[in-house]
Amino acid sequence: MGNYEVGIDAISVYIPPYYLELKDLALANRTDPDHYLVGLGCRRMALAPPGEDPVTMAAEALETLFERYAVSKGEIGMLLVGTESSVDEAKPVASIVHGLLGLPSRCRTLDVKHACYGATGALRLACDYVEKTARGALVVATDIALYDIGSPGEPTQGAGAVAILVRKNPKILTFEPFVEAVYTRHVWDFFRPPHRQSAIVDGHFSVQCYLEALEASYLFFREATGRSFLDFQYLLFHIPFPKMAKKALARLHQVEARFSEVPCSLEEDFERRVEPALYANAEVGNIYCGSLYLSLCGLLERAQDSDASALLGLFSYGSGSCAEFFCGRLGPDPNAWLGQTGLLEALKDRKRVTYEDYVAWREAREGEIGGKRFRFKGLDKGRRLYTSPKRDESRS
Ligand code: COA
């Protein structure tokens, strides 16, 4: 398998400081709240006010990373951004963020796009780069997830960014050698043409595509490594909504049962190996590229001493579709990450927004792109300015 001591040495999260209670959304949509809370497993939706976008969220997540971990900007040789809600068709988010953060000019900057798989693709490129050089690489997953108002996808929306530093001999998660447990199938389960803010999605079909991709990439992984999903202390999945993780685990139980007896019930297994990470996703919603890594942060922030050196199985899915199954081992000392990701403070320090504010902010965001209400005024020290309202006003 080779000697591949590369992985996550620092990780941080940015969640916008506003949320909508899904009970309020259910009331507005004349739906039983349990449809969202129990049926989908969602509780709250993080909301980005109109002045926030994937660029500002990525910059915030990176600022937290530089503040909290011992990282010098000078060591960064690559900045990759995984996003499917970019602000420009040509200029990458990575290049704007590079300028905002003052990173070295001897640095490669790129956005990587494949729906929610983008950040995992970026992570793979970053690992290959770090293995071959003495420098570190940054990967940021940043997205605002939007579906049409009143559509089935609406309760799964969210917003946020996760920043990751990839280094040799990492303290948090060392990836085992990647074995190309990847799967691509061209499908139109979810897409967003350039003129649209919200995705067009065939939701139930996308669930089927996700599970099919999970099965295929898990079988590739199983064959190449000789490992089964039973070997992992925790399993982390791409989480478009928390209930999806249970469907994913159920599929792994079915697939594995073809080879050997699975010695635990689905319920017990879910509670022990999957559920501990999901509170973060239930509070934030789908953040597309970052959702798997938000789950990882959820797990990291609840780690016990007994989780030291735990083996994690990870599954990343991007509609369209591309998926990958991979694994990594946690570091020996949970103190290297406990309280560091910024997740717990971000969840504690949020303001509840009414349904009416949520709709107004959405209209403003859509106007921002159509040029109706929010016109792009120019740049101030790299920050994009709009005619109104300014970011600080919308935060007060
Ligand atoms: N109480 C408890 N559960 C309820 C309920 C209630 N009152 N009403 C519905 N439910 C359950 C359903 O039984 C169903 O459970 P199941 O999945 O275990 O069968 C679940 O809630 C979802 O309801 P359903 O009516 O089947 O679908 P939906 O209209 O809520 O849409 C998606 C679900 C996923 C299709 C929709 O959220 C979507 O399009 N999401 C965006 C795309 C996406 O996330 N894709 C995932 C792969 S990337």
Per-residue pLDDT at 314: 98
- pLDDT band of 392, cuts 50, 70, 90: very low
| Catalytic (active site) residue 89 | no
What residues are in contact with ligand 1 under a 6 Å CB criterion? 32, 34-35, 38-40, 152-153, 156, 201, 203-204, 206-207, 210, 240-241, 243-244, 319
Q: What number is the average pLDDT over the span 12-19? A: 98
Tell me the C-alpha distance between 356 and 358, whole Å. 5
Q: What ligand 1 atom has the least distance to the C-alpha of 317? A: 48
Please confirm whether the linkage preceding 16 is cis (ω < 30° from 0).
Answer: no
Going by alpha carbons, the residue nearest to atom 37 of ligand 1 is 153
Q: What number is the average pLDDT over the span 312-316? A: 98
pLDDT tens digits, one per residue of 332-390: 999 999 999 999 999 998 999 999 999 999 988 877 544 445 455 555 555 555 554 44
At position 26, the amino acid (one-letter code) is: A
* Mean of per-residue pLDDT scores for the chain: 92
Per-residue pLDDT at 341: 98
Q: Are 140 and 184 in contact (CB under 8 A)?
A: no
| Catalytic (active site) residue 116 | yes
Is the model's pLDDT at 179 over the cut of 60? yes
The CA 198 to ligand 1 mean position distance, Å, reads 19
Catalytic residue of the set 127, 238, 297, 322: 238
Better pLDDT: 333 or 195: 333
pLDDT tens digits, one per residue of 152-172: 999 999 999 999 999 999 999
Per-residue pLDDT at 385: 52
Per-residue pLDDT at 378: 57
Quote the tokens at residue 29. Answer: 């949509």
pLDDT tens digits, one per residue of 267-285: 999 999 999 999 999 999 9
Task: Tell how far CA 322 is from the center of its chain.
Answer: 15
Is the model's pLDDT at 391 over the cut of 60? no
* Percent of the chain whose pLDDT exceeds 90: 88
Q: What ligand 1 atom has the least distance to the C-alpha of 32? A: 7
- pLDDT band of 307, cuts 50, 70, 90: very high
Cα angle: 212, vertex 243, 22; to 5 degrees:
135
Q: Which residues, including other chains, have CB under 8 Å from residue 282's CB and lie 6 or more apart?
A: 41, 42, 43, 44, 242
Q: What ligand 1 atom has the least distance to the C-alpha of 39? A: 21
Find the range with the poorest average confidence among 37-46, 81-90, 365-374.
365-374
Q: What separation in angstroms does the CA of 98 have from each of 51, 127, 167, 366, 381?
A: 19, 19, 18, 26, 12
Per-residue pLDDT at 1: 38
Within a 13 Å sphere around the CA of 171, how many CA atoms are in the beta-carbon half? 16
Is the model's pLDDT at 195 over the cut of 90? no
pLDDT tens digits, one per residue of 125-144: 999 999 999 999 999 999 99
| Catalytic (active site) residue 322 | no
